[in-house]
Amino acid sequence: MSTVYVIMGVSGCGKTTVGKHLAEKVDVPFYDADDYHLPSNIVKMASGIPLKDDDRWPWLDILAIEIQKWQQGKGAVLACSALKEVYRSRLFGIKENNEIINDDHSAFAKAQKYIIYLKADFDSIATRLDSRKNHFFDPSLLRSQFDTLEVPHYGLHIDATIDKKEIVDKILQMSR
């Protein structure tokens, strides 16, 4: 089974930038979870309406299916907010009611090593979002993301404010 790295954190922490650099370094495809959102979710977020769990379940299930495919192939790097523990477990095949949609019951436990949390404080991220152009995420939703965030007790925790190359180097060193 190939490795799927999940770069997680609040919007604006650098998931896409870091993910693309990491994918290039490890020679696997990069995917952005935002590209898998339902159109209705994008409309809500662009309008400053926070998503509810019911909005996220179909999106997470689509991503879970893709992750299984990537694990059977070459592997991948996925940039995904994955703010709650239940979202992260669902990405690796465990639904909220503990129904397994993945044949490998230990998939989430194995994947935890490759979940990279890019951490930063609210003010640092707010400054980044103020300068970001052409993204559907309404910066007014940032507070709701920090309120929703459940910091994982596993994986790699890396300061999102350091140089992106340094972040990728740390990921490569720590995940070996």
CATH number for the domain that contains residue 76: 3.40.50.300
**To the nearest whole percent, how much of the chain has pLDDT over 90?**
59
Rg (CA), the chain: 15
Examine residue 175 and state whether it is found in any structural domain, yes or no.
no
Examine residue 143 and state whether it is found in any structural domain, yes or no.
yes
Which residue has 């397994």 as its token pair?
A: 100
Examine residue 34 and state whether it is found in any structural domain, yes or no.
yes
**Interval 37-45 mean pLDDT:** 88
Average pLDDT taken over every residue of the chain:
86
Q: Determine the structural domain holding residue 54 and report its residue range.
A: 15-158
Backbone angles phi, psi at 94, to 5 degrees: -105, 115
Q: Coil, helix or strand for 6?
A: strand
Examine residue 98 and state whether it is found in any structural domain, yes or no.
yes
**Which comes out higher in pLDDT, residue 30 or 111?**
30
Q: Model pTM?
A: 0.86
Examine residue 144 and state whether it is found in any structural domain, yes or no.
yes
Q: Is the dihedral of CA 76, 77, 83, 84 positive or negative?
A: positive
Asked if residue 2 lies in contact with residue 75, where contact means CB atoms within 8 angstroms, the answer is yes
Q: Is the dihedral of CA 82, 84, 85, 86 positive or negative?
A: negative
The angle that helices 53-72 and 39-46 make with each other, rounded to 10 degrees, is 130
For the chain, the domain total comes to 1
C-alpha closest to that of 121 among 9, 8, 42:
9
Q: For the segment 49-100, what is each residue's pLDDT rounded down to a tens digit?
A: 888 899 999 999 999 999 989 999 999 999 999 999 999 988 987 555 545 4
Examine residue 114 and state whether it is found in any structural domain, yes or no.
yes
Alpha carbons 37 and 149: distance in angstroms, whole number: 19
Examine residue 48 and state whether it is found in any structural domain, yes or no.
yes
Examine residue 68 and state whether it is found in any structural domain, yes or no.
yes
